[in-house]
Structure 1
Amino acid sequence: MCYQTKILKQKEELLERFNAAIDALNDYEPIEFCSAFEYPKTPVITKEDPAKIQLFNWGLIPSWSKNVSIRNYTLNARIETLNEKKSFKDIVQNRCLIIADGFYEWQWRNKSGSKKEKYLITLPNEELFAFAGLYTQWTNFDNTKLNSYTIITTQANKLMSEIHNTKQRMPVILKKEDEKPWLQGEDYNAFKFPYSCDLIATALPENPSQLGLF
């Protein structure tokens, strides 16, 4: 799963990394702890407009939804069941890149989960990256429009299995060379486990040790 991310890079760094216009980022502010359940606006690049970085809300609201409450259940989308779930099966080609430079996960230290350790997961050197995502536009009863997204998840790799040791899931972080193919609609099955980038996990805050590179 993936419910807390971070994006601390300045918008000029986003421009350089993704070679996209930042004129839609006037309201962008770096966020150290970005909680999915606050439905924040974060930087994305869509298939429809790949030359622009925009701000979309986390928590996908399908076009057919009567209200926004469904987004509690669409923060993530399991890649294995995209063609089965009503919220996703008709928009599997609505691809987007969700820009971040890290995400957080909790390791259960006992069976009940009363003891947990928090980890920051990044690329080496905390480089910018993109989660694989889907997006849509929803129209409210007053004709206002809301753009929103979901983060694709897959089975955890070795590193994330050690950390997310209950659900054993992880977000799909795209390799740089695969960002364009994802946007252009390459078969999403190609991004299932064991597809993975090199990741580093740093325990927070009491134990600043790092878990391996996988």
Structure 2
Amino acid sequence: MCFHSKQSKSATEVQNRFKAKIDKPSLFIPQEDINGFNFPLTPIITDETPEIITHYNWGLIPSWAHNEDIRKVTLNARIETLEDKPSFKNSVNKRCLVIANGFYEWQWLDSKGKNKIKYEIGIGNEDFFAFAGIYSQWIDTTTYLIKNTYSILTTEANPLMAEIHNTKKRMPIILKQEDENKWLEHYPYKEFAFPYQVNLVAKKLNQNTLF
């Protein structure tokens, strides 16, 4: 799973790495810990405008939703059942790159999760990467304003992540840099499920840390 991420680098660094321009610099805020349950605006790149870095809210709201409540359970989307879930099936070909340079996961040391170890995970050296994401546009039925939202895709955990995320054994899909355009160009999404993976590095942060 992935509910806490990190994007701590500057606007210039992001633009140089992804060869794209931030459309609204005032929204760009580097953050050490992005909590998905706050449904924050974070930087992404969509398939419609790959030359632009824009900001969407984390927590996908499908176009048919009556309100925003569904976003509590759409921070992540399982790639294995993407077309089976009403929340996600209309977004299979609405692809985005979710920009990050780390994410966080907790390893349970007991059966109830009262004792945990927090890990920061990335590709090493604080380097940028992109989560595979899908997005949606929803019109608020009260204000009639459009809200752009996204979900991060997850897959079966590799050995490292199975050891850390030792309850559900899942991990977010992190794209190889050379495959980021393939994702935006709608290559078959099942090709990005495990065993597709990048090399990950995990750093233990502390113990007895709760969400």
CA distance in 2 between counterparts of 1:90 and 1:144 reads 20
Percent identity (aligned): 52
User: Per-residue CA shift, 1:54-86, capped at 9, x if unaligned?
Assistant: 010000000111101110011000000001000
- Aligned positions of 1:66-77 closer than 5 A: 66-77=66-77
Aligned CA RMSD, in angstroms, stands at 0.9
What amino acid sits opposite 1:162 in the alignment? E
What amino acid sits opposite 2:31 in the alignment? I
- Aligned positions of 1:80-91 closer than 5 A: 80-91=80-91
CA distance in 2 between counterparts of 1:6 and 1:28 reads 13
Which residue of structure 1 aligns with residue 60 of structure 2?
60
Which residue of structure 1 aligns with residue 98 of structure 2?
98
* SS at 2:14 equivalent: helix
CA distance in 2 between counterparts of 1:90 and 1:63 reads 9
Question: After the TM superposition, which segments of 4 or more aligned residues of structure 1 sit over 4 Å from their partners?
Answer: none
Which residue of structure 2 aligns with residue 120 of structure 1?
120
CA distance in 2 between counterparts of 1:145 and 1:111 reads 42
Which residue of structure 2 aligns with residue 158 of structure 1?
159
User: Per-residue CA shift, 1:161-182, capped at 9, x if unaligned?
Assistant: 0000000000000000000000
User: Per-residue CA shift, 1:20-59, capped at 9, x if unaligned?
Assistant: 0113232211111111100000000000111100010000
What amino acid sits opposite 2:2 in the alignment? C
Contact 1:63/1:136 (<8 A) preserved: yes
Contact 1:6/1:34 (<8 A) preserved: yes
- Aligned positions of 1:1-214 closer than 5 A: 1-141=1-141, 142-205=143-206
CA distance in 2 between counterparts of 1:114 and 1:56 reads 33
User: Per-residue CA shift, 1:93-118, capped at 9, x if unaligned?
Assistant: 00000000000000011222211100
* SS at 2:84 equivalent: coil
* SS at 2:118 equivalent: strand
Contact 1:154/1:193 (<8 A) preserved: yes
Deviation at 1:191, TM superposition (A): 0.6
CA distance in 1 between counterparts of 2:73 and 2:25 reads 27
CA distance in 2 between counterparts of 1:35 and 1:22 reads 22
User: Per-residue CA shift, 1:131-171, capped at 9, x if unaligned?
Assistant: 00000111112221110000000000010000000000000
* Structure 1: stretches of 5+ with no match in the other structure: 207-214
Contact 1:155/1:192 (<8 A) preserved: yes
What amino acid sits opposite 2:172 in the alignment? P
* SS at 1:125 equivalent: coil
* Structure 2: stretches of 5+ with no match in the other structure: none
How many residues end up aligned between the 2 structures?
206
* SS at 2:69 equivalent: helix
* SS at 1:205 equivalent: strand
**TM-score, normalization by structure 2:** 0.96
